[in-house]
Amino acid sequence: MRIFMTQKVIYGIQQVGVGVADVEAAFEWYGKNLCSNILVFDDNNTATHMAPYMGGQPHDKRAILAINMRGGSGYELWQYLDRQPEAPQAAVQLGDLGIFTVSVKAKNVQNSYRILKNNGVQIISDIAHSPDGTPFFFVADNEGNILQIIEYNSWYSENKSHVGGVCGCIIGVSDIERARALYSDILGYDKVVYDETGVFDDFKSLPGGRETFRRVLLEHTETRVGGLSSLFGKSHIELVQVLSRTPEKIFANRYWGDLGYIHLCFDVRGMHALRQECADKGFPFRVDSQASFQMGEAAGHWSYIEDPDGTLIEFVETHKIPIVKKWNWYMNLEKRDPLKPLPNWMISALGFNKVKF
């Protein structure tokens, strides 16, 4: 029997959507270089619900969800199959409205820098330090998407991977206070780590990074509980507002699923309560699958809202995920206590879905 939740629970960032031109090449790049080689699902069908963001028409697509068993969030690599995905008309600059980069957690930034450089990955910056002193550096993936490799202290397990999964995002907004109505009040990133304004040395290697910015790093004070929260770990959102130029929308005149970071997805329970809260606070659901929806080998109820600048935030209430696909072993989450974390042995079994490149 399904356990119905009358309140929302946010387990953490589940994944960041990445629109790519070649999903298999992208999966190989993220698997080899960022150790996200666990295949959660490989979904090849027609996207219908997102038609309002795809020119009003359904489109054929292939999507792969890849995670890293050391902990953190995953990457939903998303490719159009019936049209050529479009790049931005102009180069994306820091402060443009939308997801500029994702943060990938590293145990030792110097070690990750050495490994990625030896792998031939495009290194965009030397090791720098954020306003709170955290070391990091920027790289680009095989399609030019920028990633921040940042030192972090939230891990699910120990293994040989030099990095874990996603632990946050840098998001361009036009008004930080308006944006916090969503990111702090609804999504729970209520702790201000720093709030700085100026020209920042650690941004100068980025496109548009020499402008004047206000930047606010947010974390969640409450520890995420239940479900896969121990795998996702803690996370952050850095809101960046450019003050010395007028920002552009990263996805202006383009479709969802075109090249770049297309959404930020949270794993949740209590979708009905979340729908009401979002509506009450001025962020109504724009897309809602309504009931359990098949996503390759996984299933769930999902929805989308927009932040004040139109950046898409996805919520997924996961109902079923494959534990060991070759044994036809699936995890039914609807029958479990939503506030009780999944046992470590069950989460660790996801490692059987590792793909070797």
Beta bridge partners, 143, equal none
89-128 pLDDT, tens digit each:
999 999 999 999 999 999 999 999 999 999 999 999 999 9
- DSSP-derived secondary structure for 278-338: HHHTT---SEE--S-EEETTEEEEEEEEE-TT--EEEEEEEEEEEEEGGGTEEEE-TTS-T
pLDDT of residue 318: 84
Q: Does position 296 have pLDDT exceeding 90, yes or no? A: no
Strand pairing class (38-47; 59-67): antiparallel
Alpha helices in 157-236 (DSSP H): 176-183, 229-232
pLDDT of residue 333: 74
pLDDT of residue 154: 87
Beta bridge partners, 306, equal 312
Rounded to whole angstroms, the Cα distance separating 73 from 231 reads: 8
Exposed/middle/buried for residue 332 (C-beta within 10 Å: 0-12, 13-18, 19+): exposed
Average pLDDT rounded to a whole number, residues 43-59: 95
Helix (H, G, I), strand (E, B) or coil at 271: helix
pLDDT of residue 72: 97
Rounded to whole angstroms, the Cα distance separating 226 from 337 reads: 8
pLDDT of residue 299: 65
pLDDT of residue 293: 57
76-98 pLDDT, tens digit each:
999 999 999 999 999 999 999 99
pLDDT of residue 1: 40
Beta bridge partners, 35, equal none
Rounded to whole angstroms, the Cα distance separating 329 from 68 reads: 20
Rounded to whole angstroms, the Cα distance separating 189 from 307 reads: 14
Q: Give the distance, in angstroms, between the CA of residue 281 and the centroid of all CA atoms in the same chain.
A: 23
Q: Does position 62 have pLDDT exceeding 60, yes or no? A: yes
User: What is the average pLDDT score of the chain?
Assistant: 93
pLDDT of residue 290: 80
Helix (H, G, I), strand (E, B) or coil at 86: coil
Rounded to whole angstroms, the Cα distance separating 220 from 183 reads: 10
Nearest to 145 by CA among 218, 73, 87, 202: 87
Lowest mean pLDDT, pick from 3-7, 123-127, 197-201, 311-315: 3-7
Provide the 10 A C-beta neighbour count for residue 3.
12
Lowest mean pLDDT, pick from 241-245, 260-264, 351-355: 351-355
Torsion from C-alpha of 102, 331, 274, 50, nearest 10 degrees: 60
Provide the 10 A C-beta neighbour count for residue 127.
16
Rounded to whole angstroms, the Cα distance separating 141 from 122 reads: 7
Average pLDDT rounded to a whole number, residues 58-65: 97
- DSSP-derived secondary structure for 25-39: HHHHHHHHHH---EE
Rounded to whole angstroms, the Cα distance separating 100 from 196 reads: 18
Residue 95, sorted as left (phi over 0), alpha (psi -120 to 50) or beta, turns out to be: left
212-261 pLDDT, tens digit each:
999 999 999 999 999 899 999 999 999 999 999 999 999 999 999 999 99
Average pLDDT rounded to a whole number, residues 312-326: 80
- Residues 271 and 319: beta-carbon distance below 8 Å: no
Q: Does position 2 have pLDDT exceeding 60, yes or no? A: no
Residue 291 vs residue 91, higher pLDDT: 91
Phi, psi of 204 (to 5 degrees): -65, -20
13-26 pLDDT, tens digit each:
999 999 999 999 99
Q: Does position 304 have pLDDT exceeding 70, yes or no? A: yes
Cα radius of gyration rounded to whole Å, the chain: 19
